[in-house]
Amino acid sequence: MDDIDKVLVSETEIKNRIVELGGEINAYYQGEEVAVIAIINGAIIFVADLIRELRIPLKLDCVRVSSYRNETSPQGRPEVIDRIRLELKGTHVLLIDDILDTGNTLSEVVRLFETLNPASIKTCVLLDKKARRSVEFEADFVGFKIPDEFVVGYGLDFAERYRHLPCIGVLRPEMQNPPEWN
């Protein structure tokens, strides 16, 4: 926690909001079965907590998308590097990511999944950094809107570190470029 400048969203705020979000999603799907697809690694903590608030039939799978390396800004076009194993044709798909930033990742994954002819595709993100959007894209379910700062914790990493922090915090600028990490 010493590497954190300030806490943006506390553990309690996250817990409370996830209960509300689960309620919104339950109400939206009205008992219909959903394929929840988590974009890992970032969404793993969020999806684990969120699905335990869902009272609808669901299947879970994950996709791995690469766009960020060990830096704090995007590296070109997002690439899906692990294919989905579920049959999504005719299924309601709920895509989950940790954070919506430029919008490149989610818009690309939605575009890809549309080719699989699901019954519907909705998106849910824990965090929305709207100021950074470079493609027109909005998520259907949003946990928190946050300002344009690089955050870690609750699944979000810097160079695979800090994912286990229970809150969302702003990483101290000097920790965003430690020479000994690669």
Q: Which residue is nearest to Mg ion (CB)?
A: 42
Closest contact distance (angstroms) between CB of 69 and ligand 5GP is: 11
Closest contact distance (angstroms) between CB of 89 and ligand 5GP is: 26
Q: How far is residue 41's CA from residue 39's CA, in Å, rounded to a whole number?
A: 6
Cβ neighbours of residue 2 under 8 Å, at least 6 residues apart? none
169 binds, among Mg ion, ligand 5GP, none (CB under 5 to 8 A by kind): none
* 4, 29, 42, 152: residue in contact with Mg ion (rule CB under 5 A): 42
Residue nearer to Mg ion on the CB measure, 42 or 153: 42
Interface with ligand 5GP by CB under 6 A: which residues?
Answer: 42, 67-68, 74, 78, 97-105, 150-152, 156-158
Closest contact distance (angstroms) between CB of 107 and ligand 5GP is: 8
Closest contact distance (angstroms) between CB of 39 and Mg ion is: 6
8 Å CB contact between 22 and 54 = yes
User: Phi and psi at residue 126, in whole multiples of 5°?
Assistant: -70, -45
Cβ neighbours of residue 89 under 8 Å, at least 6 residues apart? 116, 117, 118
Q: How far is residue 123's CA from residue 128's CA, in Å, rounded to a whole number?
A: 12
Which residues are 58's β-sheet partners?
A: 34
8 Å CB contact between 59 and 88 = no
Catalytic residue among 101, 128, 148, 157: 101
Active site residue 101: yes
Residues designated catalytic: 101
Given the rule CB under 5 A, which residues bind Mg ion? 42
